[in-house]
Amino acid sequence: MVDTPNENASDDNASIAPLLLGVIWSLGTVAVVVLFLRLYTAVRIVQRVKPEDYLMLAALLCALVQTCLLTVSVRWGLGRHIGTLSEEQVMHAAKFFILFEGWSVASTAFGRISFSVYLLQIVVINRMRKFLLYSFIAGQAIVNGLTIILIYVQCGTQPAAMWDPSIEADCWSPRVQRDFGFFQCSYNSLTDLFLTIFPIIIVWNLQLSWYKKLGISVLLGVSVVTFIESVIKGYSIKVLGEGVDVTWNIVPFLIWAVSEGFIIIIAASVPSLCPLVRKRRRTSTYQRTYEMDGSEQQRSKRGLVKRPDVLESSL
């Protein structure tokens, strides 16, 4: 699985690791802040932490572990041309990258399952629609669970052979993982497309004004972002089976892979922040009304204005 150093590498100092680390840690910081606000909303405003909140917390923990593993891999040479690295550096860079893969798959699976569970609780659905949601939840668990297993059984009882060429083992061709990765990404993209269209169809049939339908549809249709991410990541998987200058060529795939996990956490948590936004709007409206009352009482004595009604809070 680990290719040998290329003696013809042209630039010993070239590295795209800073780009990788900048993207993944920036998105990781945003995801931590968004999930903190989500949990704050659940504990302090809604006063109930629901199953989807725990699932999203699991997604974030997996995403942070994968980010730390990639950071360690960068210290060993990930993001540099393989020809500039020693055999020890290549081995350790590959080791932490391979360990990263399972956590990455688990993070996106937990995120999608969390959003699906969220939809089960907020959308009025019939048995067929509920069956569809449960089917995609089960599919996420099965497909991504199998992906994690396949990652670590490629070399049978000698998993270290995946990064240590000195260990003799009968390992699968890297193309096996690549091909199953295409299938896994395709299924994840299908799930994202379903999670985008499904709530919009439900909301558009409700008895609401068109602008409220549009607003709610935008909130619940955020999976379109992860759908785009998943498609791009699937296209990038082709580098996994090539085995040429892996420590350099794999970086674009890693950027999309890690970004997908964090964007799922961010996008799927946005609808859960609505109670926090409504509370701030009510507080702001109350303060404005209180201030107006004081001035209007003085002016009403002179017959200048009437007391205004309090604005109705929106969705």
- Overall fold of domain 17-275: Rhopdopsin 7-helix transmembrane proteins (1.20.1070)
Select the highest-mean-pLDDT range: 182-196, 204-218, 220-234.
182-196
Q: Which residue has the tokens 């909130």?
A: 219
Question: What is the length of the chain?
Answer: 315
Residue 279 is predicted with a pLDDT of 73
Across all residues in the chain, what is the average pLDDT?
80
In the predicted model, is pLDDT for residue 227 greater than 70? yes
Residue 25 is predicted with a pLDDT of 96
DSSP 231-288: HHHHHHGGGGGT-SSHHHHTHHHHHHHHHHHHHHHHHHHTGGGHHHHHHHHHHHHHHH
Residue 145 is predicted with a pLDDT of 95
Query: What are the tens digits of pLDDT across the range 78-123?
Result: 999 998 999 999 999 999 999 999 999 999 999 999 999 988 876 6
Instruction: Give the confidence band of 52 by pLDDT, cuts at 50, 70, 90.
Output: very high
In the predicted model, is pLDDT for residue 146 greater than 70? yes
Q: Specify the higher pLDDT residue, 315 or 236.
A: 236
DSSP 114-170: HHHHHHHHHS---HHHHHHHHHHHHHHHHHHHHHHHHHHSTTTT-GGGGT-TTS---
Is there a contact between 150 and 230 (Cβ–Cβ < 8 Å)?
no
Query: What are the tens digits of pLDDT across the range 149-166?
Result: 999 998 888 888 888 888
Residue 200 is predicted with a pLDDT of 80
Domain borders along the chain are 17-275
